[in-house]
Structure 1
Amino acid sequence: MKLFSFIAIIAFFTFSHAKSQDEQYKDLNISGRLLDSDKQPVLFASVALYSSGDSALIGGVTSDENGNFHVPVEKGNYFLKITYLALSEKIIPNLAVNEFNINLGVISMKADAKVLQEVTVKGEKSQMELQLDKRVFNVGKDLSNIGSNASDILNNMPSVTVDVDGNVALRGSGNVRILIDGKQSGMVGMNPAEALRQIPGDLIESIEIITNPSSRYDAEGEVGILNIVMKKNVSYGLNGSFTATAGYPSNFGASFNINYRRKKVNLIASYGNVYREGPGRGTSRQEYNSADTSFVYEQYNKRNRGGYSNNFMVGMDYFLNNRNTITGTVSFRDSRNTNNTTLEYRDFDFNNNLTKTVIRTENEKEPRTNFEAALNYIKTFERKGQSLAFTAKYILSDETEAARFNENIEGEQTAIVQRSFNTEDEKNLLFQLDYIHPFGKNGKFETGLKSSIRLLDNDFSVHQQNQALNWIIIPEFDNRLAYNEKIHAGYLMASNEFGKFFLQAGLRGEYSDILTELKKTNITNHRKYFNLFPSLHLSYKLEDMQTVQLSYSYRLSRPGFRDLLPFSNFSDSRVFRSGNPLLRPEYTHSFEAGQLLNMEKGSLLSSVYYRHRLGVVENITSVDSTGFTRITPVNLSTGDSYGFEFNLTYDPFAWWKWTANANVFRSINEGTYQDKILKSDTYSWTSRLSSKVTLFRNIDLQSSFNYRAPRKTTQGKDLAQYWIDLGLSRDILKGRGTITASVRDLFNSRKQRRIVENAGYYSKSEFQWRARQFLVTFSYRLNRSKQNEKEESNDDGGGES
């Protein structure tokens, strides 16, 4: 009730303020039509109205799609200033407004040679931008991202890795928070690995990497936050972009992103459709020798995971006036995936003689839907930097995995027939209020409240067919998990500049109420806890070209939904991955120091970091006497990580751009499991080198090399990975269209290789999720040339934090 009253008060104040703003304008106006030297309308030119007495800015508009403009005025004396890129500025003096409108008729605007020259050499938006607490990467600048999906794009980000199962890690840690447009989203809620593959990359504007988030962000995410910013236009008139992609192995898609703005209303819509197949293969060898049992077997697997997905979003911005905006959006995603897998087990004795061959096949169907509705209200005040924002979001997700398995021994007639069902339903309700109040010259206070309620229901069962062809439930693989999560948070932050120093300090409090219940076995785990999470950011400007930053944050990582599930899937009858309903959160102290050096032809961002973690969750592999392997996450250890990271951009010539990044780190983990000490001390690194050459002004050629060094774990090690991507693009249709051809993983070398050793158990595996891929993409910009997009991207006029 209090929340409803608060919203009602905001609504009353907003509409009252809007009415008072509108009443100040009379019916008088100055109008005209803008044409260029070719007699074509000048679209979206800036028409500013100034007072003749003191040259004070009174107001302004932009010309519409026909070049027309109408400036509302009161009685008085004015002059107009009309500006547009590549055209000479036009000033119309001595406009005396009495009792009648003024129609200036056709106004001709001529090209400005000097401006045209400046436009030609004007630099485009950098692929990386550094802000106080985050790095922003504009993904469209990387040709290998065109025609791909969100998972592929993240895999190209510095310090971000995506394994063959789609799990995302930042600086070597998988405890990273993934947001969409700065907010949690059901699109990546229940199954992030698969969901990211369903988001078309053509709908993504940028990726924000936040390694030490301030208190305005959720404390969730031990190593930081990855924020995926979706494309959204607010330009006047009808604008948009259209993209079509075709590739091999099968990868076909189309998407559009459009907006239509007139005066106070901006309509937005985006849609992406993708059909994709991902053929993969792998091998492994398992050896186990103990007093109770011993076995040796090799596994060969082939799979093809594919299907289609549709992503649709429609919304509207309503500009009540210059200071109040209401935005409503509705998004829907529907996908239908299939997963066909063949596993071949070859059993050997310890003399390496083949004793038995077992074939297991899986046919899985996986429909998934996601619905989201969001309402946002933003109010800015007369004082620069003062704002109030309110967000409400409702999320409804549904996912079902239905699989059928057939397993038989070569040479025998009998077969094992099984099926599994895994349904996952989610409801999520979120409210958030943020307020910024400036003080002094450059200082500001920030405060906010947030509440989220998340309800998840998972029903999992495995059935086996008996000789009478009846389905019998396997008891140890039958349960239902109910997960209820309520998190209430509030934060307070302050920041200010002191000469060359900038200081930002904040404190966030979060109350967590989480209930996990296994319905069929009556196991309940109810946790309630309150934590305070401080953050501190310092920066010092050494000189115009150099800045130093220091930061600290305290964070936690709650177990993910999949980590709590007692079941995952039943594809492999000998290796089973299960969750742990008793997992506790991890806590992390994170420190970072960085330096940004701007050079004449590039920039270098270098940083060192340290993280101390408590209750580190690691996957533990155990084997029973039958040879059945179980992989389960447990709160195993404490951990310390040290690292050095750099991002270098260097442009030796205007037509040649280099980017390089590397993350070198040491990770130490130590803990006890079943009275055994497990520890690891590893040095490793990840790196990426990219070169982009522009030929004949409209052809771009890019190549990139990625390398991930070996890494030790508490039960073995991950071996090295490397791959090369190539891309070629050309602008056509006077800059409104672009054709791009690319190949990902040129040498088909991106494979996950892993060794696990534990008390008589040895496993070596190699797996490739998707083979080398070729892509061709065509993009067309409606009422927007490529140059327009560069200019708008360089404009700092808005966007969500």
Structure 2
Amino acid sequence: MNMHKFFLTIIIILAAFISPAFAQFPTGGAATPKALPGTAGDQTPKGTAKISGTILDSASAKGVEFASIALYNKTTGQAIDGTVADEKGKFSLTKIVNGDFKILISFIGYGNKTLDNIKLAKGQELDLGTIKLASNTKTLDEVTVTGQSALIEEKVDRLVYNAEKDIAAKGGDATDVLRKVPLLTVDLDGNVSLRGSQNIKVLINNKPSTIIASSVADALKQIPADQIKTVEVITSPSSKYDAEGSGGIINIITKKNSLQGLNLNVDSGVGNRGSMLSLNGSYRKGKAGFSLGGFGRGNYNTKTTTSLDQSSIVDNVTTLTNQTGTGSSKGLFGQYSLGFDYDLAKNQSITAGVRYGVRNMLSQQDLITKLFENGKQTSTSGRNVDTKNLSGTVDANIDYLHTFKPQQEWSVSTLYSRNDLTNNFDADILNSDNQIASRQRNLNKSINEEFTLQTDYQTPIKKNQLLEFGGKGIFRKVTSGYSYLLASPTGEYETEAGQPAGDLLYHQNIAAGYSSYTYTTKKRYTFKGGLRYEHTFIDASTKESGSLGVGNYGVLVPSVNASKTIKGATLKLGYNRRIQRPGLQQLNPNYNASNPQNITIGNPKLRPELTNNFEVGVSKNIKKTFVNATFFGRITNNAISQIRQPSDSISGAVVTTYQNIGKQHAYGTNLFANVAATTKINVGLFMNAFYSTLTGQTTGRDGLSREISNSGMNISGGIFSQATFKNGWGAQAFGFMQGNTIQLQGKQGGFGFYTLGVKKDFKNKKGSVGIAAENFLSKRYTIHTELNSDLFNQVNNVHLYNRGIRLTFSYKIGKMTMDAPKRKAKSVNNDDVKSEGGGQTQSGGAAPGGGTPK
């Protein structure tokens, strides 16, 4: 790759986007705006009167910085002027004409306050003195409790699930939470799909992690469920987000606080299939805040049984494979974090953090394989396999934010990530007498390193428009070494003849720039459009073959979102184009034959796939019921498809690899209803249904490539209910069913999952105990998969024994006091790699700048 071209491209993009931003920056420090979006601004008639005052927090007596002050003409009801308070809560409105007025004061986290009957004479200077705002939270026994939000909230471009209200997930991990989020499907292995697509990006607090690049399912096991505040499902991302993730983006927001003082939370749980312990502490004094957290989880007693019937045809010989297996797995997961934030000035802040994640998954499987050729049994063999899936992930970030006035801000973000991944197996190969005939070992060590530099700027235009733009550079390096070793029952390991070995070096650098524009009309139409360009530079090579010849490419990604409220119903339209780059496991050329009858190998020559997404949605509150219906279409070309072929070298085996040969079309609907049966009981129902058509290529019996296709319906749905009772008691139930999933060469069977949980809060509100059970009525679940082509047929049954029960305990230590919330520095958001595997619900569309910032 020509590196100077990459640096030149990124410099041009950053310069083009940053220069206009600096041109607009105030030169004398942060200016107090004279007019807020939505007010008359420069069209206000000028007079000689003046109004001033000071806004304080009623509890702490501190100034409420950035509180909004709007001046209304009492006769007409029109807003004629406005401003915001400074860091001490002081404000002033000047050049006001004489007349009768009222003032509305508001800020997030506080109740609104109206000052009525304000009369101004010509030239009068009116000092309103101290005005106190009351927090809309209540403090009970030194624990801050906010008013309950809706379990499900819908915003202009996303659906928000308020996970902090989930009591059954305590003691679990993020997988347990995501199972209950509408639009999402999580299988029993933890693989997540959005509207039937696993081509999604998972972010944690708007930030990526290199661990996601290797496995979303494994990464979710490292996130404790009771530390998750909300889960955002972004179905129509704006151009501010990376173009990656053809199915959409899932953003997991963990719990934070803006409280002063010291606190420590202890959470623990023990069960028949897993245990966990979590310690999270924070300290904040004045302008500085620190946080320290640790989470450990152990899984055990996870048993499976499998059966495989497979037939294949090679050189006119029909081979039938009959395989049975028993297995178990255990794992340790941990996540440790240290965070720091500091207010450099009243309008500037810096945040920094480092997070380390660890995953140690050990699995064992005993296989017995019988081979038949043309109807006659030719061999019986056994294989005892021990697999190690280990990883250590480090994420470190430093972020800076400068706020000039409400909605006008500039940020610079950096992120360094590294994931050391080990995926090895050791196998004892048994003969027909069940004795060890030989031993085999596969070593596969991978390292994924990333460094990201990003800058964003946004500014309001007039009173109802918002302009956003920015630039970004990602420097990514992936290395993977792989080899096969063979040994006698008692001898030393040596390189196995005829088996692939080598080293992959994969450089992927990305230069990106975007611009986004939001416009809101007086009739509450909201339009948000944007354009993003990303240029990818790739240099891929192996030690044995040299350069693989994967070319550079650029992509232009448009996005459009619109919303309108009509008679209480919110209508939404969305279109976006997305790119899906191949993930590490799809690129990795390691020849994984832990089960020699089902072999996988990656393809480092894969190109990205492009997807066009369309959606139309409507939501409405009907008395105590919130209803949402979304209809969507997804068209993907150059799709990365799994291709399965009989092995030329191993009798009866099927080899799976990846190629850019597919087309995928999906059209369907997502339905959701949330019923507030009483003030204490809430019930929700959801259903996802879509028709998918998949087209690709495979090799026929004549040895020639031919087109194949498959299509069918994919249906899933669920129900959940939660209730609160007197004396701190609460209960929650959840059930989910997934139907068959259509694949290019067959289908995968469905499954079910359900949980029930009960929790009791202590009288002092500082702790709780609970019990939760899952799949307690079923001994096991079976996933039945059927795959077929001209050259092979495969029937695979996997039986999972996942009946579980766990006890949980949590306790809070420390005394906290409320502090006015401040905007903190934004952070890097890489959502550009394919992985395996706060508005109101009835708003008329988000105001400019609404939604979660990147």
| TM-score class normalised by the smaller sequence | 0.7 to 0.9
The answer as to whether partners of 2:311 and 2:321 remain within 8 angstroms in 1 is no
Given the superposition, is the C-alpha separation of residues 748 and 554 from structure 1 closer, same or farther in structure 2, using an over 3 Å criterion? farther
Show the counterpart of 1:252. 275
Given the superposition, is the C-alpha separation of residues 730 and 800 from structure 1 closer, same or farther in structure 2, using an over 3 Å criterion? farther
**Does residue 400 of structure 1 match 2:431?**
no
| Greater Cα offset, 308-317 or 533-542 | 308-317
The answer as to whether partners of 1:144 and 1:744 remain within 8 angstroms in 2 is no
1:537-586 deviation line (CA, Å, top 9, x unaligned)? 1111102x211000100111111111111226332122111112222211
1:696-724 deviation line (CA, Å, top 9, x unaligned)? 25222221111111233222212221122
Pick the aligned partner of 2:462 from 433, 440, 446. 440
**Does residue 150 of structure 1 match 2:174?**
yes
In the alignment, the residues of structure 1 paired with residue 744 and residue 135 of structure 2 have an alpha-carbon distance, to the nearest angstrom, of 67
Pick the aligned partner of 2:164 from 140, 145, 162. 140
1:474-506 deviation line (CA, Å, top 9, x unaligned)? 343312111111011100111111122111110
1:749-786 deviation line (CA, Å, top 9, x unaligned)? 54422111222522211224562221222222345799
The answer as to whether partners of 1:726 and 1:743 remain within 8 angstroms in 2 is yes
Q: Secondary structure at the match of 2:501?
A: strand
Q: TM-score, normalised by structure 2?
A: 0.78
Report the AA paired with residue 170 of structure 2. Answer: I
Report the AA paired with residue 614 of structure 2. Answer: F
In the alignment, the residues of structure 1 paired with residue 228 and residue 206 of structure 2 have an alpha-carbon distance, to the nearest angstrom, of 13
Pick the aligned partner of 1:628 from 643, 646, 653. 653
Q: Secondary structure at the match of 2:176?
A: helix
Report the AA paired with residue 521 of structure 1. Answer: S
Given the superposition, is the C-alpha separation of residues 256 and 783 from structure 1 closer, same or farther in structure 2, using an over 3 Å criterion? same
In the alignment, the residues of structure 2 paired with residue 14 and residue 278 of structure 1 have an alpha-carbon distance, to the nearest angstrom, of 62
Show the counterpart of 1:659. 684
1:161-215 deviation line (CA, Å, top 9, x unaligned)? 2334443221111111122222221232233332222222233222111111110
The answer as to whether partners of 1:164 and 1:752 remain within 8 angstroms in 2 is no
Given the superposition, is the C-alpha separation of residues 467 and 287 from structure 1 closer, same or farther in structure 2, using an over 3 Å criterion? closer
Report the AA paired with residue 592 of structure 2. Answer: N
Trace 1:493-512 onto structure 2 (pairs within 5 A). Answer: 493-498=516-521, 499-512=523-536
The answer as to whether partners of 2:696 and 2:744 remain within 8 angstroms in 1 is no
Given the superposition, is the C-alpha separation of residues 385 and 465 from structure 1 closer, same or farther in structure 2, using an over 3 Å criterion? same
Q: Secondary structure at the match of 1:562?
A: helix
Given the superposition, is the C-alpha separation of residues 377 and 411 from structure 1 closer, same or farther in structure 2, using an over 3 Å criterion? same
Given the superposition, is the C-alpha separation of residues 780 and 442 from structure 1 closer, same or farther in structure 2, using an over 3 Å criterion? farther
The answer as to whether partners of 2:444 and 2:480 remain within 8 angstroms in 1 is yes
**Does residue 696 of structure 1 match 2:736?**
no
**Does residue 482 of structure 1 match 2:482?**
no
Q: Secondary structure at the match of 1:219?
A: coil
Given the superposition, is the C-alpha separation of residues 768 and 147 from structure 1 closer, same or farther in structure 2, using an over 3 Å criterion? farther
Show the counterpart of 1:763. 794
In the alignment, the residues of structure 1 paired with residue 85 and residue 517 of structure 2 have an alpha-carbon distance, to the nearest angstrom, of 34
The answer as to whether partners of 1:756 and 1:762 remain within 8 angstroms in 2 is yes
In the alignment, the residues of structure 2 paired with residue 794 and residue 467 of structure 1 have an alpha-carbon distance, to the nearest angstrom, of 65
The answer as to whether partners of 1:203 and 1:272 remain within 8 angstroms in 2 is no
In the alignment, the residues of structure 2 paired with residue 221 and residue 726 of structure 1 have an alpha-carbon distance, to the nearest angstrom, of 33
Show the counterpart of 2:672. 647
Q: Secondary structure at the match of 2:214?
A: coil
Given the superposition, is the C-alpha separation of residues 194 and 520 from structure 1 closer, same or farther in structure 2, using an over 3 Å criterion? farther
In the alignment, the residues of structure 2 paired with residue 299 and residue 677 of structure 1 have an alpha-carbon distance, to the nearest angstrom, of 30
Given the superposition, is the C-alpha separation of residues 531 and 799 from structure 1 closer, same or farther in structure 2, using an over 3 Å criterion? closer
**Does residue 200 of structure 1 match 2:224?**
yes
In the alignment, the residues of structure 1 paired with residue 738 and residue 817 of structure 2 have an alpha-carbon distance, to the nearest angstrom, of 35
The percent identity for this pair of structures is 25
In the alignment, the residues of structure 2 paired with residue 550 and residue 58 of structure 1 have an alpha-carbon distance, to the nearest angstrom, of 37
Show the counterpart of 2:714. 684
Q: Secondary structure at the match of 1:620?
A: strand
1:394-452 deviation line (CA, Å, top 9, x unaligned)? 11221223332101023164512011111011211001111111012221000011110
The answer as to whether partners of 1:324 and 1:379 remain within 8 angstroms in 2 is yes
1:621-664 deviation line (CA, Å, top 9, x unaligned)? 21136112111122232221101111211111112111111111
In the alignment, the residues of structure 2 paired with residue 618 and residue 58 of structure 1 have an alpha-carbon distance, to the nearest angstrom, of 56
Report the AA paired with residue 730 of structure 2. Answer: D
Given the superposition, is the C-alpha separation of residues 749 and 712 from structure 1 closer, same or farther in structure 2, using an over 3 Å criterion? same
In the alignment, the residues of structure 1 paired with residue 742 and residue 162 of structure 2 have an alpha-carbon distance, to the nearest angstrom, of 33
Show the counterpart of 1:26. none
RMSD over equivalenced CA pairs, Å: 4.1
Q: Deviation of residue 268 (structure 1)? A: 1.8
In the alignment, the residues of structure 1 paired with residue 223 and residue 416 of structure 2 have an alpha-carbon distance, to the nearest angstrom, of 19
In the alignment, the residues of structure 1 paired with residue 463 and residue 632 of structure 2 have an alpha-carbon distance, to the nearest angstrom, of 32
Show the counterpart of 1:387. 409
Given the superposition, is the C-alpha separation of residues 44 and 129 from structure 1 closer, same or farther in structure 2, using an over 3 Å criterion? farther
Report the AA paired with residue 559 of structure 2. Answer: S
**Does residue 343 of structure 1 match 2:343?**
no
The answer as to whether partners of 1:446 and 1:494 remain within 8 angstroms in 2 is yes
Show the counterpart of 1:179. 203
In the alignment, the residues of structure 2 paired with residue 361 and residue 739 of structure 1 have an alpha-carbon distance, to the nearest angstrom, of 42
The answer as to whether partners of 2:500 and 2:591 remain within 8 angstroms in 1 is no
Q: Secondary structure at the match of 1:151?
A: helix
Show the counterpart of 2:479. 457
Q: TM-score, normalised by structure 1?
A: 0.83
Given the superposition, is the C-alpha separation of residues 173 and 647 from structure 1 closer, same or farther in structure 2, using an over 3 Å criterion? same
Report the AA paired with residue 584 of structure 1. Answer: R
In the alignment, the residues of structure 1 paired with residue 421 and residue 110 of structure 2 have an alpha-carbon distance, to the nearest angstrom, of 52
The answer as to whether partners of 1:203 and 1:257 remain within 8 angstroms in 2 is no
Q: What residue ranges of structure 2 are gaps of 5+ in the alignment?
A: 1-6, 33-53, 72-81, 91-104, 114-133, 700-704, 824-837, 841-845
The answer as to whether partners of 2:259 and 2:818 remain within 8 angstroms in 1 is no
**Does residue 578 of structure 1 match 2:608?**
no
| Greater Cα offset, 635-644 or 776-785 | 776-785
Show the counterpart of 1:472. 494
The answer as to whether partners of 1:176 and 1:222 remain within 8 angstroms in 2 is yes
Report the AA paired with residue 383 of structure 2. Answer: R
The answer as to whether partners of 1:259 and 1:268 remain within 8 angstroms in 2 is yes
Q: Secondary structure at the match of 1:125?
A: coil
Given the superposition, is the C-alpha separation of residues 584 and 313 from structure 1 closer, same or farther in structure 2, using an over 3 Å criterion? same
| Greater Cα offset, 743-752 or 134-143 | 743-752
Show the counterpart of 1:753. 784
The answer as to whether partners of 2:539 and 2:547 remain within 8 angstroms in 1 is no
The answer as to whether partners of 1:280 and 1:767 remain within 8 angstroms in 2 is no
The answer as to whether partners of 1:552 and 1:591 remain within 8 angstroms in 2 is yes
In the alignment, the residues of structure 1 paired with residue 83 and residue 655 of structure 2 have an alpha-carbon distance, to the nearest angstrom, of 74
Q: Deviation of residue 619 (structure 1)? A: 1.3
Given the superposition, is the C-alpha separation of residues 438 and 60 from structure 1 closer, same or farther in structure 2, using an over 3 Å criterion? closer
Show the counterpart of 1:76. none
1:649-706 deviation line (CA, Å, top 9, x unaligned)? 1111112111111111000122332322211111121111111122325222221111
Pick the aligned partner of 2:574 from 537, 551, 562. 551
Q: Deviation of residue 595 (structure 1)? A: 0.7
The answer as to whether partners of 2:421 and 2:446 remain within 8 angstroms in 1 is yes
In the alignment, the residues of structure 2 paired with residue 115 and residue 314 of structure 1 have an alpha-carbon distance, to the nearest angstrom, of 28
Given the superposition, is the C-alpha separation of residues 467 and 271 from structure 1 closer, same or farther in structure 2, using an over 3 Å criterion? closer
Higher relative contact order (CA 8 A, sep 6+): 2
In the alignment, the residues of structure 2 paired with residue 86 and residue 583 of structure 1 have an alpha-carbon distance, to the nearest angstrom, of 52
The answer as to whether partners of 1:246 and 1:776 remain within 8 angstroms in 2 is yes
Show the counterpart of 1:27. none
The answer as to whether partners of 1:286 and 1:761 remain within 8 angstroms in 2 is no
**Does residue 214 of structure 1 match 2:245?**
no
Report the AA paired with residue 684 of structure 1. Answer: N
Q: Secondary structure at the match of 1:735?
A: coil
Q: Secondary structure at the match of 2:240?
A: coil
Q: Secondary structure at the match of 1:410?
A: coil
1:245-292 deviation line (CA, Å, top 9, x unaligned)? 11112x121113332211111112222112222523132232325462
Given the superposition, is the C-alpha separation of residues 61 and 702 from structure 1 closer, same or farther in structure 2, using an over 3 Å criterion? farther
Pick the aligned partner of 2:351 from 322, 327, 335. 327
The answer as to whether partners of 1:682 and 1:713 remain within 8 angstroms in 2 is no
